Amino acid sequence: MKFPGKRLFLENSSPLPLIESCKSIKQALQVHSQIIVNGLHRHIFSMSRLISFFALSGSKDGLNHSRLLFSQIDCPNLFIWNTMIRGYSRSDSPQEALVLYMSMIAEGVESPNNFTFPFLLNSCARLSSLEPGHEIHCHIIKNGYQSDLFIRNSLIHLYSVFGDLSHARVVFDGSFVRDLVSYNTMISGYAQDLPRAALCLFREMLDMDIQPDEFTFVALFSACSVLTDPQIGKQIHNLLYKNLSSIDSNILLKSAIIDMYAKCGLMKMAEQVFSAIRNSKSTAAWSSMVLGYARCGEIEIARHLFNKMAERDVVSWTAMISGYSQTGQYSEALELFVEMEDQGIKPDEVTMVAVLSACARLGALEFGKRIHHQYIENGSFDQNIILTTAIINMYAKCGSIDAALKIFHGIQENRKTSFLFNSIISGLAQHGLGETAIRFFREMVSAGVKLDEGSFVAVLCACSHSGLVEEGKKLFESMFDVYGIRPQMEHYGCMVDLLGRDGRLEDAYDLIQKMPFEANSVIWRALLGACRIHGNVKMGEIASQKLLEVEPDHGAHYVLLSNMLANSDQWDEAKRVRKLMEDRHIQKPPGWSYIELNGTIHQFLASNKSHPQAKEIELMHKEMAVQLKSVGYVPNTAQVVFDIDEEEKGTVVSYHSERLALAFGLVNCSPKDVIRIVKNLRICGDCHSVFKLLSEIYEREIVVRDTIRFHHFKTGSCSCLDFW
């Protein structure tokens, strides 16, 4: 390509206007060569113009080229140093800005000025540690620039980025002059973590007669999104209308409003704003709509919008994936993630969190492991405690508590959050490792990590799964007395479970009576479970009746009640309950089990033989029966209440979904592999005995996750020690 302005390079003429009019790096390179040809490369002013162009071009090549030119200058002036620092502050390697700054000081020719520090602080704000930022702050004071408004505003930004809002506020409050930018920066800093403080500061800003602009409103809507308070959101929206003459209502602002309404679940309002911009391809606004609809349960509308998007970025894909994940459609979430990978879109931390959460809920260990190894272990992600928590949660919920613990122990003490502790404690609880769970709980307390409702749910669960009655009672009492956390329904549920399993049914019932709220189905189900274990039919019937009142549409409750009656030989009553169920057209919820093989999830429904490998599975199933018979096993059909003969009952039990999944696992997994099964209901008593026997017969380790906990079957026994 010929550059049009060649004739400008006459003797004594300056190439400056040309550099300014360059539209591309390529053109600028041509100008550069012309400068050299004309001997102007010793001309410091031309060179500094050229360096600026390349350094601020926004491209990596441009920046590298400017560095090359920079290194050829003997004694760069402050403007050139500043320009280089500014270039790196926006690049992929902001730490390079600090390196340059240090060498500038080391050379001792130039000292930093009021322009240097905002660029440097911008670089610091993009590093992974606040430490360099602190050092630069010291330099600012040493050089006497602490009252410069631009520098103060950059400092507020720096501290907010690292979540140190109190420090940001100290800088804000210590400024003699505060302008619109000071307020906007501070309000944006507050928006995500302290939304109420953001609104307060906005009020203060109005009192000080500082007119808000579109940036202010974007931050305010972001705060309202966090608050999910539609009242306040609407108020701010009205205020925006009043100020509209002075405010540029751009697409970013509209996106923030859409996001606010979507987060508040007001999809009609969101739709109104969205209709004005739906033809533009604002991916943020579309993504907010997608997530908004998904969260309202309108997953099909969400998917429809997602499909119609002109362009999808990571955020859009993540919105749809977490939409599936948050509405319980975990397989769909993973499927969409694979599609995203196929399209060559790189997931980010947030995508990983959504995908790992779906893996955890499904018990998809292989899938979760792949994500961990492929993206996170050799990955480019920052050390992010939310992501680490998601990984630990995935391993724990998928039955690999050892892997979870190993990662947990590798985390620095000061990075351990409540979420992290709660997650590992509930993982330990699910595995029946009550003592260890309590140890972690104590560690959490002594480390000064804040306890919350979730911490107590986790630790009380751990007590109940391990039969630690006295510890559980003490912890429950200390909850409010020591930690000031008022027990909620979930905590009472744990206690009912804890007392009930221990056979203290009267105590459990008393606790339900004394609770400050009406018991929900979870509580009655816990009591009923305990009644079944301890054979207390009378209280069991009370619990069942209550269950039918609270949730009359839930088939499982009818089954539980009729089981209970049948077990105490009240066959007529049992039949009556069955009849009631039929009359109300209530279906028994289907039992299913998952097993993962090579990253694919295979689902088995009870008595369903439609799997592609049905023949092999059936053969293995027969073989299992023969083996069981040879060790003298007799089916326990206590939990089958159908009015059928004994032999048939045995057949029904033997086709439970977990058995089919196990047969599939024995056919397909290599002998050293652990067979991992996830069930949507509690494992039945007979299957539990059978799995113990088969773990010995086939010398296999089998892990079953049911709705309550994990069962590790090995050499003829189960980790739950039959306490479940």
Partner DNA sequence: ATAGGGTTAG
Among 136, 232, 256, 333, which residue interacts with DNA (rule: CB under 7 A)? 256
Read off φ and ψ for residue 327, nearest 5 degrees: -105, 15
Name residue 600's beta-bridge partners. Answer: 597
When the beta carbons of 1 and 208 are compared against DNA, the nearer one is 208
Q: 705: helix, coil or strand?
A: strand
Shortest reach from residue 253's CB to DNA, in Å: 6
When the beta carbons of 324 and 509 are compared against DNA, the nearer one is 324
The reply on whether position 149 binds DNA by CB under 7 A is yes
**Do the Cβ atoms of 469 and 498 come closer than 8 Å?**
yes
Among 27, 30, 48, 82, which residue interacts with DNA (rule: CB under 7 A)? 82
Structure letter (DSSP) for residue 278 = T
When the beta carbons of 96 and 541 are compared against DNA, the nearer one is 96
Shortest reach from residue 87's CB to DNA, in Å: 11
When the beta carbons of 255 and 695 are compared against DNA, the nearer one is 255
Among 14, 41, 105, 150, which residue interacts with DNA (rule: CB under 7 A)? 150
Q: Which two tokens stand for residue 121?
A: 């602080």
Shortest reach from residue 74's CB to DNA, in Å: 19
The span of 31-39, 109-117, 404-412, 436-444 binding DNA (CB under 7 A) equals: 109-117
Shortest reach from residue 608's CB to DNA, in Å: 32
Shortest reach from residue 223's CB to DNA, in Å: 9
When the beta carbons of 249 and 627 are compared against DNA, the nearer one is 249
Q: What residues numbered 159-188 form the site for DNA, per CB under 7 A?
A: 179-182, 184-185, 188
Among 32, 65, 157, 709, which residue interacts with DNA (rule: CB under 7 A)? 157
Among 35, 100, 219, 273, which residue interacts with DNA (rule: CB under 7 A)? 219
When the beta carbons of 249 and 567 are compared against DNA, the nearer one is 249
Shortest reach from residue 63's CB to DNA, in Å: 16
Q: Which two tokens stand for residue 631?
A: 């060790």
Shortest reach from residue 603's CB to DNA, in Å: 23
* Binding flags for DNA, 334-373, as an x/- string (CB under 7 A): --------------xxxx-xx--x----------------
* Binding flags for DNA, 497-516, as an x/- string (CB under 7 A): --------------------
Q: Is 550 exposed, middle or buried (0-12, 13-18, 19+ CB in 10 A)?
A: middle
Amino acid in the structure at residue 540: G
Q: How many angstroms separate the CA atoms of 716 and 720, rounded?
A: 12
Reported for 88-97, long-range contacts at CB under 8 A and 24+ positions apart, including other chains, are 88/63, 88/123, 89/119, 89/120, 89/122, 89/123, 89/126, 90/56, 90/58, 90/122, 91/60, 91/63, 92/60, 94/122, 94/123, 94/124, 94/126, 94/127, 95/123, 95/127, 95/132, 97/123
Of 174, 158, 229, 164, nearest to 199 (Cα)?
229
The span of 9-17, 234-242, 245-253, 332-340 binding DNA (CB under 7 A) equals: 245-253
Shortest reach from residue 3's CB to DNA, in Å: 25
Q: What residues numbered 269-328 form the site for DNA, per CB under 7 A?
A: 282-285, 287-288, 291, 313-315, 318-319, 322, 325-326
Shortest reach from residue 356's CB to DNA, in Å: 8
Q: What residues numbered 693-722 form the site for DNA, per CB under 7 A?
A: none
DSSP structure string for 126-183: TSS-SHHHHHHHHHHHHTT-TT-HHHHHHHHHHHHHTT-HHHHHHHHHT-S---HHHH
Shortest reach from residue 403's CB to DNA, in Å: 17
Q: Which two tokens stand for residue 722?
A: 């039959």
Shortest reach from residue 435's CB to DNA, in Å: 24
Among 101, 215, 330, 594, which residue interacts with DNA (rule: CB under 7 A)? 215
Contacts of 156 (CB under 8 A, 6+ apart): 168, 171, 172, 182, 185, 186, 189
Q: What residues numbered 637-696 form the site for DNA, per CB under 7 A?
A: none
Among 57, 225, 639, 654, which residue interacts with DNA (rule: CB under 7 A)? 225
Q: How many angstroms separate the CA atoms of 406 and 495, rounded?
A: 30
Q: 224: helix, coil or strand?
A: helix
Which residue has 């997953």 as its token pair?
Answer: 299
Tell me how many degrees the CA angle 557-577-499 measures, rounded to the nearest 5.
40
Q: Any alpha helices (H) in 309-417, and if so which ranges?
A: 314-326, 330-342, 349-362, 365-371, 385-397, 401-409
Among 14, 38, 95, 114, which residue interacts with DNA (rule: CB under 7 A)? 114
Of 385, 380, 316, 378, nearest to 351 (Cα)?
316
The reply on whether position 243 binds DNA by CB under 7 A is no
- Containing 713, the helix (H) or strand (E) segment is strand 710-714
**Do the Cβ atoms of 462 and 434 come closer than 8 Å?**
yes
Among 78, 197, 407, 445, which residue interacts with DNA (rule: CB under 7 A)? 78
Shortest reach from residue 480's CB to DNA, in Å: 25
**Do the Cβ atoms of 182 and 152 come closer than 8 Å?**
yes
**Do the Cβ atoms of 432 and 710 come closer than 8 Å?**
yes
The reply on whether position 252 binds DNA by CB under 7 A is yes
CA 49 from chain centre, in angstroms, equals: 47
The span of 249-257, 549-557, 559-567, 645-653 binding DNA (CB under 7 A) equals: 249-257
Q: What residues numbered 380-419 form the site for DNA, per CB under 7 A?
A: 384-387, 389-390, 393, 417, 419
When the beta carbons of 51 and 694 are compared against DNA, the nearer one is 51
Contacts of 110 (CB under 8 A, 6+ apart): 76, 77, 78, 81, 104
When the beta carbons of 247 and 577 are compared against DNA, the nearer one is 247
Of 207, 204, 205, 194, nearest to 166 (Cα)?
194
Q: What residues numbered 537-566 form the site for DNA, per CB under 7 A?
A: none
Shortest reach from residue 462's CB to DNA, in Å: 18
Q: What residues numbered 424-483 form the site for DNA, per CB under 7 A?
A: none
The reply on whether position 216 binds DNA by CB under 7 A is yes
When the beta carbons of 235 and 689 are compared against DNA, the nearer one is 235
The span of 29-37, 119-127, 442-450, 508-516 binding DNA (CB under 7 A) equals: 119-127
Shortest reach from residue 259's CB to DNA, in Å: 4
When the beta carbons of 33 and 707 are compared against DNA, the nearer one is 707
When the beta carbons of 26 and 281 are compared against DNA, the nearer one is 281
Binding-residue total with DNA (CB under 7 A): 76
Shortest reach from residue 181's CB to DNA, in Å: 3
The reply on whether position 48 binds DNA by CB under 7 A is no
Any idea of the CA torsion for 100, 104, 107, 108, to the nearest 10 degrees? -160
